[in-house]
Amino acid sequence: MHSLAVYRSAHRIALRDRTLQLLVLAAVVVITSTFGWLLLDIVWHGANRIGWEFLTAAPRSAGRNGGIAPILLATVLILTVALAVSAPLGLATAILLSEFSRPGGRAGYWIGLSLDILAGVPSIVFGLFGNAFFCVWLGLGFSILSGGLTLACMVLPILIRTAESGLRTVPNDWRLGAAALGISKASALVNVLIPAAAPALVAGLMLGIGRAMAETAALIFTSGYVDRMPASLLDSGRAISVHIYDLTMNVAGGDRSAYASALVLIALLILINGAASWLAERTLKRRITAS
């Protein structure tokens, strides 16, 4: 009797193990196949539309034909504005948090809290704010500047938090060493701490770029819809994600162009991430071997 009971429980355990294994495998198959489907679909529908002309021509008949050159330029300009504002601001705040604020200090606490709140605000709300503040209140109108500044507000928490944690991982030995030599915090930052944290800073920056580039909701009501070549930062410019949205939703027969634009966007994102990890690796290597 006894041996039978043992056998039974062993059998039950084997059954449970099998089931779990099967469920996990099934889940992985579902995920990978959906992902494969999604990716293949985008490549399949988008690839034949992409060519030199697509990247360099202006869109014609609402984007069904022609290319996306003005859209790419607008996207780059919006990103440039966003980063030109948020990167220095973010780095400075991160330095303040990691190097000058004492853990548990009041200023650090409040800044940290407001950052966490900011990180949780949905992007559409940034769009509302950007429209009310930059477009209307500051009178910038629907412009690349408004869109870029709105995105700057949006990616600020990401930049600050990644830069802060990057700086915090720099060994304290160097801070003490620099201080003991009578080196100012400013020089220590410029010469030692920031270079040492560079991989993390770059990674954070790329994360921010990726987030900003994929953003649609915050841009529709700030940088606008105009798909023409922007001539200044005060012109409206259509970001690539807004272009995809417009083609998908508003343009009958625009799906092919939408897929092609989506493919371009994904390729750009992968390129940026690849460049980021390559850059991070390179700075890391250079730091250890030379310089």
Partner 1 sequence: MSPSARDARLLRWLAFAAGLASAVLILIVLFLMQESWPVIARYGLVHFVSARGWHPTEGTFNLVPMLAASAATSALAIALATPLGVAAAIFSRFYAAGIVGRLLHWVIVLLAGIPSVVLGLWGLTVIVPLILKVAPPGTSLLAGSLILALMILPTIALTTEAALASLPSAYGIGAAALGLSREAIIINIAIPATKASIFAGVMLASARALGETMAVLMVSGNVVQLPKSLFDPVRTLTANIALEMAYATGDHRASLFVSGLALTAVVLALAAVARRSGGQVVHA
Partner 2 sequence: MRIGTFLLAGLVLATTMQPASSAEGKLVITGSSTIAPLAAEMAKRFEEKSPGTRIDVQSGGSSRGIGDARSGLADIGMVSRALKSDEVDLKAFAIARDGVSLILHRDNVVSALSDQQIVDIYTGKITDWAEVGGKAGPITVVNKAEGRSTLELFLHHFKLKASDIKAQVVIGDNQQGIKTVAGNPGAIGYVSIGTAEFEARAGTPIKLLGMAGVAASVENVRNGSFPLARPLNLVTSAEPQGLTKAFIDFTKSAEAYDLVREQYFVPLGP
Partner 3 sequence: MTITGESEGLVEAVDGKAYTVGPLLSGPPCCRPETQIRVDGLSLGYGGKPALKDVSLDIYRGCITALIGPSGCGKTSLLSCLNRLTDLIPGCRVEGRIMLDGADIHSSGVDVQALRQRVGMIFQKPNPFPLSIRRNLEMPLKEHGITGRSELAARVERSLVDVGLWDEVKDRLDGAALSLSGGQQQRLCMARALVLEPEILLMDEPCSALDPLSSAVVEDLIETLRGRYTVVIVTHNLGQARRIANYAAFFWVNDRAGTLIEFDQCRRLFEQPRHQLTAAYVRGLRG
- Which residues would be at the binding site for partner 3 (CB under 8 A)? 102-104, 171, 173-184, 187, 191-192, 195-196, 287-291
What is the nearest approach in angstroms of partner 2 to the Cβ of residue 106? Answer: 23
What is the nearest approach in angstroms of partner 1 to the Cβ of residue 97? Answer: 7
Q: How many residues in the shown chain lie near partner 2 by CB under 8 A? A: 33
Q: Are 263 and 46 in contact (CB under 8 A)?
A: yes
Based on the shown chain and the rule CB under 8 A, indicate whether residue 76 belongs to the binding site for partner 2.
no
Based on the shown chain and the rule CB under 8 A, indicate whether residue 45 belongs to the binding site for partner 2.
no
Locate 105 and state its tokens. 């200090």
Partner that binds at residue 179, options partner 2, partner 3, partner 1, none, CB closer than 5 to 8 Å by kind: partner 3
Partner that binds at residue 27, options partner 1, partner 3, partner 2, none, CB closer than 5 to 8 Å by kind: partner 1
What is the nearest approach in angstroms of partner 2 to the Cβ of residue 9? Answer: 54
Q: Are 88 and 156 in contact (CB under 8 A)?
A: no
Based on the shown chain and the rule CB under 8 A, indicate whether residue 261 belongs to the binding site for partner 2.
no
Distance CA 277, CA 121 (A): 28
Locate 57 and state its tokens. 């021509």
What is the nearest approach in angstroms of partner 1 to the Cβ of residue 62? Answer: 16
Return the number of the residue (61 or 277) whose C-beta is nearest partner 2: 61
Contacts of 176 (CB under 8 A, 6+ apart): none
Based on the shown chain and the rule CB under 8 A, indicate whether residue 137 belongs to the binding site for partner 2.
no
- Binding residue (CB under 8 A) for partner 2 from 183, 211, 225, 273: 225
Q: At 253, which amino acid appears? A: G
Q: Where are the alpha helices (DSSP H) in 224-254?
A: 240-250
User: How distant, in Å, are the alpha carbons of 107, 156, 164 from that of 167?
Assistant: 18, 16, 5
Residues in the chain: 291
Partner that binds at residue 265, options partner 2, partner 1, partner 3, none, CB closer than 5 to 8 Å by kind: partner 1
Q: Are 153 and 115 in contact (CB under 8 A)?
A: no
